[in-house]
Amino acid sequence: MRSKVFNFVSAFFHLVGNSSCLHSTLYDFEDPNQKSCFHPIPKSPGAVDQSTDIETVKYGKNSLMWKADNVSKLQLQASTFTIPNDWLKRGGVKVWIYKRESSPGKTLQVEYEHSSKIVGRFKANLTFQGWRGIWVKFSECKVSRRSVTKSTVIDKVNFVLSDADTIYIDLLEFQKSFAKQSRDKVVPPISPLGLAVYDASNTFQRTQKWSKEPIPSSPLAVDEKKNKSLEHIESRLRNWYCDETKTTSSFSKGSFLKKRWNSLLSSVNKAHKEYDNLIFDGGKIVGPPLFCRNCRYGEYSKTDKTRKYGFIMETILLPLALEYYLRSRANEVADAAAGQLAELNSGDPDRMNDAHIAIAGEDKNMQTIFKRYLPSSKTWTLSQVETAINTLNLDRLNKINNLLEYVKQQGFADGSGLGSLDHEMNRDGAGFMHALFLISDSLKVPSNKSRLLDLINTAKWYNEFGEIYQSPTFEFKGTTADRMIQLPLYRLMIVLLMPSDDEDEVKAKIRDMDALVNWIENALTVNEGLGGVLKPDFTGFHHKAFYASAYVPQALHEAAMIQYLLGGTEFALSQSSINNIRRGLETLRLIALKYSTPNSVNGRFPHYFNKALIKAVLPGYAYIAVSHPSSLPSTIPKGIEVSDVKEPQMFLRLYNDSSINDYLEDGQSDKGKYYPNSLGSLDLMEKVSTLSFLLI
């Protein structure tokens, strides 16, 4: 007993003069003295220690492990620790919490004390596994309007667990000023003063709000025409990536398809290299740590190994998903095996090496894996090569699944705000959503259903899917350019991903598609004033002004693509919405000197020769020209079909010019926000051009 008392007193006196315990300290626990700033109350139950397990460390080599045997308090307190009054108006706390297992119903409450009186507090739900980022301002968690006065300082911070649990804390810091914090399912809006931190103008800060939107009832019966329409829409989207009747090895040498494919492969090669540079524990990716767009950490450098979520999504996940989808199609596998069989059996090292590259790509590791899957023999049969390719494709799929699990463990999960969601999907959206759609066949097998539903929930959370459920009217007309660029397509992908194993699931899918189309119609509404995208004169607004060089062209491109995907189905857009898209594209065409828009309407990109109509919107003019038949064929067509066109002149004027060649050859998937330059879009543009000249 005397020994325990002595240790406590010794620790206390050590704490009194501990310069590690300052309000301005970044508690990353790399300094072992930081642990002594925290002490459990009461002292006996549980333990506080450093953790070096890489999965429990968000930055550096250490985090703080707190194991509580029952209800317990961990107090940050020292004579050197005082958060000053001038920090309490605009400042707050940022922290990362890790949990090995979800703890349904359990909570972590954070309390701020001034002279033993609680002046602020908030509660974090512990129903999660993995990392969660938490940013909370002092002003939004005050216990009352008068709890913080001009003389208030914070001299103690309490972390209170509601029950026995183990959590890991890293990168705890108090800041004098910050903004753009996001509420989520871990820390919902804080009563009473934090319930309305953001209004409707903060479009990047409404994720938690839309997740609470009531889901409408499903239809009483399955509408078979609508169900069939969904199959047609999904087929069109799959062919948009690449015409299913074509294989990459059949692309003519020197063609735009071949050049775009080779360009895409440069992104794929880089993705494989960056994948191999990740940190693995066995076959599991455990690092580097990932951070949000607005976090101070994660900028790409050789010295700082942390990364942004967007880097993983854009640079690694999207190219690998595109490669897997294109190379794993049945006709692609058959064509690759048949085309390379003679080379593999030639005995010529150079010819065999070329075959390995043609099948496995430039990445040496993937080539080695492919060779390992070939049986031990000097010659192989067609069947053996096909089997080896299919097995290699399972490795490609495994990489994608590893990445999805990795970003989930790092915090990219249903209900997670990452600290700040501000502009986050501008970095993450394309990689995450295209990857889910491109591997959807593997996710829809019965054994993967729970994982599929989890990924759908994550996609719904980050794409604010609940916004489409507004009824009877929408909160406001129109949407923003950023949202039009992403949400119509990504929400459509979510609907197409939804399972349809029984009648109730089909009804739910149709319910959500109906709601989505209603939202798209509203998003395309002409909007007066400074809000929305389309104006009465059909100029397009962003940042409350006509923005011709960026944002608006991409928004119209995506809107035209949605019109193409839905056209002729039970979910086709109204003629009014189609006309609005067309008129918006016409207006861009009128104000541009063919491809380039005047610098006076180019916003923060005031470069006249930016060729915005090539880089941002060229395929959109083809999509809007496609005229689908009024009734769908009973069987889904193979490949890309264009049976009729309407007013294709705008597209033809832009398309038949060598100025666009660089764009047509570019296949790199280097956009965080959207992915526009697919192989299939080249075929569609060519079909529109060819048919137009036949009809004109």
Whether domain 224-248+257-695 has CATH 1.50.10.100: yes
pTM of the entire predicted model: 0.95
Amino acid 613: pLDDT: 85
HEC sequence for 154-167: ECEEEEEECCCEEE
Residue 62 near residue 50 (C-beta atoms within 8 A): yes
- What are the tokens at 509? 């899918």
| CA-wise closest residue to 114 among 94, 140, 71, 143 | 143
d(CA 665, CA 256): 5
pLDDT at 15: 41
Average pLDDT per block of 10 residues along the chain, 696 residues long: 40 53 96 93 82 96 95 93 95 98 97 96 98 97 92 96 96 96 96 86 90 97 97 98 97 97 97 96 95 94 89 98 98 98 96 97 97 94 98 98 98 98 95 98 96 98 98 93 96 98 97 98 93 91 86 95 98 97 95 86 71 89 95 93 95 93 93 92 97 87
Query: What pLDDT score does 1 carry?
Result: 43
Q: How far is CA 151 from CA 89, 114, 280, 523, 528, in A?
A: 12, 10, 50, 49, 48
- For domain 2-197, the CATH architecture is Sandwich (2.60)
pLDDT for 599 equals 83
pLDDT of residue 529: 86
Residue 179: which of 197, 191, 193, 192 has the closest Cα?
197
Domain ranges in the chain are 2-197, 224-248+257-695
pLDDT at position 8 is 46
87 in the Ramachandran plot: left (φ > 0), alpha (ψ -120 to 50) or beta?
A: alpha
Q: Shortest CA distance to 208 belongs to which of 233, 229, 226, 182?
A: 182
